[in-house]
Amino acid sequence: MNLQRQLKYYYLRFVRLRGDPHELALGIALGVFIGLMPVIPFQTALAVTLAIFFKGSKITAAIGTWISNPLNWYFLYYASYKLGAFILRLPERKSAFASIVTAIESCQGIQDIMIIVAKFLGAGGAFVAAFLLGGLIMGIAFAPPAYLLFLKFFTAVKRWREHRKERRIGAHQIERKKH
C-alpha cells in the first residue's frame, strides 16, 4: 500500500470516529498532555486512564500520544529536559541524557524498557524532576490549544455529517413522493 493511500485511509478512519466533539477533543488533549511527558512505555495506558477519569474518548487519547512519535520524541524530550533544568537551575547533564537516548533507541523488548527506566531513575532525582517538570509545562502549554483545535475540527465534522444526512433524507422524501 503506498504512503498516500495509507494516509488517506487513516484520515478517513479518524474523521469517522463517532462521539461527542467535546469528548473526542478532550481525549486528544489528554493524549497530547501525556505524550509530552517523559513516560514512553506508559503513555497510552496513562492517556486512556485519564480519558476514563475525565470522560474523554479513550481512542482519541491513545491517538493524541502520537505527538511524541519516533520522528520527534528525541527533540520533545530534550526540550522537556532543558526546560525543566532551566526552571530548576540545574547544571548541564548531556551524558546522562545521551545514555538514556541510546537505551531508548536500542530498545527491543520489555527487558530493555526496564533498563531505560533504571537509567532514567539512576540519573538522579533532580534529573528526573527536570524531565517531569519540563514535560508537565509543555503538556499544559500544548493540551489546551490541541483541545480547541480538535473541538473545532470534530464539531465541523459533526455538522457536515448532519448536513449530509438531512440532504439524503430530503432526497429520499422527494423520491417517495414521485412514486
Residue 160's pLDDT is 86
Do the domain assignments include residue 86? yes
Q: State the cell numbers at 159.
A: 455538522
Do the domain assignments include residue 8? no
pTM value is 0.77
Do the domain assignments include residue 55? yes
Do the domain assignments include residue 171? no
Domain count, the chain: 1
State the distance between the two ends of the chain, measured CA to CA, in whole angstroms.
Answer: 45
Q: Which residue has the cell 481512542?
A: 59
The parent domain of residue 109 ranges over 20-163
Q: What is the mean pLDDT of each run of 10 residues along the chain (179 residues)?
A: 76 77 96 89 91 94 86 80 88 68 66 68 76 93 96 91 78 63
Q: Residue 80 CB: number of other CB atoms within 10 A?
A: 25
Do the domain assignments include residue 11? no
